[in-house]
Chain A
Amino acid sequence: MDAKVNRKKLGLKEKYKLLTRDLGWEPSYHAKEKIFPYATYEGIKIHDWDKWEDPFRLTMDSYWKYQAEKERKFYAIIDAHAQNNGHLNLTDARYLSALKIFLQAISPGEYAASKGFARVGREFPGVGTQVACQMQAIDEIRHAQTQIHAMSNYNRFYNGFHAFAQQRDRIWYTSVARSFFDDAMSAGPFEFMIAIGFSFEYVLTNLLFVPFMSGAAYNGDMATVTFGFSAQSDEARHMTLGLECIKFMLEQDPANLPIIQSWIDKWFWRGFRLLGLVGTMMDYMLPKRVMSWREAWDIYGVANGTALFKDLARYGIRPPKSWDDAEAGIDHMSHQFMLGFYQWSFGTCFHSWIPSDEDMAWLAEKYPKSFNQYYLPRWQHIKKLAEAGTPFKNFGVAKLCQTCQLPTVFTEPDEASLLCHREGDYKGEKYHYCSDHCKEIFDNEPEKYIQSWLPLPQLFQAPNFGDIGAWMAWVDLKDGIDNGDYVGSQDEANFQAWRGLATSNSNAQAQGEQ
């Protein structure tokens, strides 16, 4: 009656097992295939879900506790930042172009990842995997929200942030990021994990995250850097999950190897193309630079990537097929992107500009193999046109790659003076690609990629019918305010006037006060 229970001492691992995977059960009233209908169609074979090693052991009560602490700090800092006009501490308002691209293209991706992880957190038949994916699902909601909240105050004072929700679905360059996440979410649960959990979180996150947040810190953007610090421990968990997932799949069955290898090939290249946006920000958009895109790639791409693929070699995994072409592209991509943004700046909801002489000297130093030879002459020509009062505007519509959605502005991997363009036929239609790798991705799943929504042809379709004004209204772009050159923009004038108010006793009237 009053027998004391003799409690066994439970190890952490054992206890966590009781608190997670022991909760699940083998169903008997419905077939497992009906409960988990998408678990097998990709061809990945899993024999024993119990072999899954939990990448981190976090129970809900500690999750709430740790995350709430981080949330408290984060909101305290961004409240103070807003209250004290923290935006006036920026090195220069041209920095905000990077943030505008981030909010329009990347934050929606965080939200898509959250939906995707909720789906795979339900569709994987193993409890350990489900719990880990569910935690990432809720973390990704956090990231989308903290980013929107961090940038909300900038929206009150600067142009280009105001319509991120419409631009996510309509403007041309955000389609690059959205097609990446749409592609992952329309794939099965295992490919989703390789796409987001492995390629994006593990292989590429450092290239996105570290340079971006360091860029924010270097340029006085306390709001964004606080988000970055706050998200760091979440990202560490996500990276461990991505790596555990790939190892688990490889260990379960040798037949999984070729499928996974083809996904790694695909998603490395998809991610690499997407990260070109970050490269451009680092090389061109930061008034105070952290390091060049080339240097970031050498540290976070080459060094980390080499170690990772060395580690995975024991499973038979080799580095992504496109690795060498990516390496060759590094010296060119940011310049090609920025030249693209500048000439099409009428259609971007952020500003671009001609780099100053000092900027160009820095670029020449960082890119000894490419800048002076290929890009300096173009910028000098563009500068001359601007000085003559006839700035270079390209109102032609760029040809987009059917796979990655970027304009085909890249050059051949071995010949930087030759534009790279590939063409293919499928069921009587012609398709265009920016590279061999994007063509190969298309060729592996043509029925998927023929569905791609191409944002530039949309300009000629209903409701715009080739009318640029109508298109601008449709994408919520305020002509002459959100777009064009930074020099002479409202953002530039306001920032200077407000900074004058903050740092001197002059009574400069800012446009915002009218």
Chain B
Amino acid sequence: MHIDLRTISIKPQRQAFDHLIRRFGDKQASRYQEGSYDIQAVENLHYRPTWDPDQALYDEGITRIVMQDWYAIKDPRQFYYSTYTLTRARQQETTEANFNFVETRGLGDMLPENLRQIALNVLVPLRHAAWGANMNNTFICGYGYGTTFTQPCMYHATDHLGIAQYLSRLGLLLGDTEALDKGKAAWMEGEAWQPMRRYLEDCLVVRDPFELFVAQNAALDGLLYPLIYERIVDDYLSTQGGSAVAMLCQFMNDWFDETSKWIDAVLKTVAAESSANRAQLEIWTAQHSEKAAKAVLPVVRLGLADEADDAVVEALAAFKARMKKTGIAF
């Protein structure tokens, strides 16, 4: 039986804030809309930055992408702080349970040695790559324009920090602090890792926020995550008896699927805005994905040996198909 409780009913004076009514019509706004649209200052800014007087404090002109309205970009997940932290908190519980499961049952110690080595060699140095991705997304959030574009980049940055920390814990679990030391040495000196480190350092000097978005979030991660977490961890290691590693990496897999939807939505909106944007995105995507493919290849070889070349070619083809759906053909 349904019972309606009575409360005193007062007719509201208005449904929403003016700027949201202008954008979405005279109705109540969602919390995502309230927390995201038009909350960055836009005009009558007081001072030019002393660190670069050529740009304004919030400057649409520091990227080659031109948008009539940057708030045309939106996050299909509708993440604002609350929905973001609630989502990650739930995933964090699962990850914690997975780590706990592997640890308490000694599954790490039961891993065949060759698989443990592959896991350590491939995954542990990636914690540095994740840190680079964190810095790049922090940059995009800091210097990008419009909250619906920049806000998810801050969440993406802290996600990458979380991933770097999960990879570090994986290293500690499977190989103690030595594994982290060896991983760092490989990252700094190991031949297989130098193209990847170079790619990230190249990204760290890019100061066009949208180019950086393409280089890091689309091109590099778009190849790296499917190759590492699907091909090597899920397909290869699991079938060989290393499903414990897959449990420790579940977060990264789920996360990649979820965040790709957001990245694709951003690219799609920006490409649809103008042919100039589309052309610029095609150039960037082509350039960076070619470089990224070269950077990931030697890393994939650490896991897949002779099959690596084919795997990277396939991943690149899949990435091209994915980009084509956003309107970017290269």
Question: Taking beta carbons and an 8 Å cutoff, which residues of A are in contact with B?
Answer: 1-8, 10, 18-19, 22-30, 34-35, 37-38, 41, 59-61, 63-65, 67-69, 71-72, 74-75, 83-85, 108, 111-112, 114-115, 118-119, 121-122, 127, 130-131, 134-135, 137-138, 141-142, 144-146, 148-149, 152, 155-159, 161-166, 168-170, 175, 178-179, 182-183, 185-189, 448-449, 451-453, 455, 458, 476, 494, 498, 501-502, 510, 512-513
Contacts and interface: CB of A to CB of B under 8 A. Distances in A.
Contacts of B28: 156
Nearest to A118: B142
A8 B181 CA distance: 14
B137 to A, nearest CB: 9
Majority SS at the chain B contact face: helix
B190 interface: no
Contacts of B49: 185-186
A293 to B, nearest CB: 27
A179 B46 contact: yes
A155 B17 contact: yes
Contact of A25 (B15, B93, B188): B188
Contact of B17 (A37, A144, A146, A162): A162
Contacts of A452: 46-47
A401 to B, nearest CB: 13
Contacts of A26: 188
Contacts of B285: none
Contact of A35 (B48, B188, B198, B201): B201
Interface string B1-45: 000000110111111111100000000110100110011111111
Contacts of B259: none
A144 B57 contact: no
Contacts of B46: 175, 178-179, 182-183, 186, 451-453
Contact of B86 (A71, A83, A170, A179): A71
B151 interface: yes
Interface of B: 7-8, 10-19, 28-29, 31, 34-35, 38-51, 57-58, 80-82, 85-86, 88-89, 92-93, 95-96, 108-110, 112-113, 127-128, 130-131, 134-135, 138-139, 141-143, 147, 150-151, 154-155, 157-159, 161-162, 164-166, 168-169, 172, 174-177, 180, 184, 187-188, 197-198, 201-202, 204-205
A138 B81 contact: yes
A64 B89 contact: yes
A180 to B, nearest CB: 9
Nearest to A15: B172
Contacts of A5: 108-109, 174-176
24 contacts: A5-B108, A23-B168, A59-B162, A60-B159, A60-B165, A61-B162, A65-B92, A67-B89, A121-B138, A131-B161, A138-B158, A141-B151, A142-B82, A145-B34, A148-B34, A149-B35, A156-B14, A163-B19, A165-B18, A165-B38, A168-B41, A455-B44, A498-B10, A510-B10
